[in-house]
């Protein structure tokens, strides 16, 4: 497990993003406290974190069978964007794909917007080439446009697409100064060190076979116990979901030869495959919520 314990609000963010959205979008505070207890977060900490998330506009309080919270509609696009980045991370971009360049100028009287632009472009994976000049692989352009429009910052920014670097410095050297690659590698290394042993343990033990009736001649595949899966999956996903944003997916030619994103992605992919489904079943069991039924299309 990671040496750094995620904050309760980060764990709750993961629970809503990965499970509650798929189960109707609302959960009672009692059920949320029960789930968070499995992650060693006590009730007062859960209530305090949900209060902060409500104040931030992430959650809306709503009474149904009991008091609970649902995601605010305004944050749904944020979670949808997160799905794309977290679960569908692309392979490194190609040099021929080109670059998106963001140039901004903010009046001194509005310097708070300047700080917000810097922090959000950095969060998206942009590198800082010069004051007010940020760039990233061209495929990040749609994400950048959506983010700037959502935050009301588009009036300060000009976006350009460039096919290739035509400067004088060695591009690999320049890239190393525009992005803090050692810091990104440190994050990947921390993730791999924390979670590779968990993947190996599950792989070696075959997990825990679920208790269900075995048909004659049937060999049941090993399955991880849902409660155990939940206890591992939520902290793992919470630690992982930062990384696809910090890593812009630079072309392989511009990265260190031993770029450690590859083994980290392999660990995440394996654990996601092993733990996501039983974790969701555990949430369904605790909350009594269920996934919407899919109805097959009627034949004409």
8 A C-beta contact, residue 284 and residue 18: no
CA pair distance 194, 158, nearest whole angstrom: 40
- DSSP H helical ranges for the chain: 8-18, 29-37, 43-55, 76-87, 111-124, 141-150, 171-178, 181-205, 226-240, 243-246, 261-287
8 A C-beta contact, residue 287 and residue 27: yes
pLDDT along the chain (300 residues), means of 10: 73 97 95 97 97 96 92 91 84 90 89 89 93 94 92 93 87 95 95 95 65 37 79 97 92 92 94 95 95 55
Other Cβ atoms closer than 10 A to 174: 16
Residue 172: predicted pLDDT: 94
- pLDDT tens readout for residues 222-269: 567 999 999 999 999 999 999 998 899 999 999 998 899 999 999 999
Question: How large is the C-alpha radius of gyration of the chain?
Answer: 22
CA pair distance 176, 168, nearest whole angstrom: 15
* Dihedral, 6, 11, 17, 19 alpha carbons, nearest 10: 130
8 A C-beta contact, residue 248 and residue 127: yes
- pLDDT tens readout for residues 64-88: 888 999 999 999 988 998 898 898 8
Residue 295: predicted pLDDT: 45
- pLDDT tens readout for residues 185-195: 999 999 999 99
Give the position of tokens 């309080």.
61
């Amino acid at each position: 497990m990671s040496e750094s314990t995620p904050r309760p609000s980060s764990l709750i963010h993961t629970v809503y993003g990965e499970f509650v959205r798929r189960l109707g979008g609302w959960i009672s505070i009692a059920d949320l406290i029960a789930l968070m207890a499995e992650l060693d977060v006590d009730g007062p900490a859960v209530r305090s974190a949900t209060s902060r998330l409500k104040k931030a506009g992430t959650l809306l309080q709503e009474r149904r069978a009991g008091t609970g919270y649902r995601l605010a509609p305004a944050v749904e696009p944020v979670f949808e964007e997160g799905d794309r980045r977290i679960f569908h991370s692309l392979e490194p971009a190609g040099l021929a794909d080109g670059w998106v360049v963001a140039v901004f100028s903010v009046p001194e009287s509005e310097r708070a917007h300047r700080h917000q632009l810097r922090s959000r472009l950095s969060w998206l994976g942009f590198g800082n080439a010069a004051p007010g000049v940020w760039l990233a692989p061209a495929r990040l352009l749609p994400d950048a446009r959506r983010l700037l429009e959502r935050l009301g910052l588009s009036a300060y920014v000009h976006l350009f697409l460039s096919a290739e670097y035509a400067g004088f410095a060695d591009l690999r050297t320049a890239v190393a100064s525009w992005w803090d690659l050692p810091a990104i590698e440190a994050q990947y290394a921390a993730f791999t060190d924390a979670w590779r042993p968990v993947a190996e343990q599950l792989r070696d033990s075959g997990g825990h076979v679920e208790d269900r009736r075995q048909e004659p001649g049937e060999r049941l595949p090993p399955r991880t116990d849902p409660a155990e899966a939940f206890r591992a999956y939520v902290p793992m996903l919470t630690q992982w979901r930062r990384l696809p944003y910090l890593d812009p997916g630079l072309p392989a030619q511009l990265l260190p030869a031993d770029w450690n994103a590859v083994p980290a992605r392999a660990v995440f992919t394996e654990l996601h495959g092993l733990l996501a489904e039983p974790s969701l079943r555990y949430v369904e069991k605790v909350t009594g919520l269920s996934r919407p039924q899919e109805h097959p299309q009627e034949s004409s």
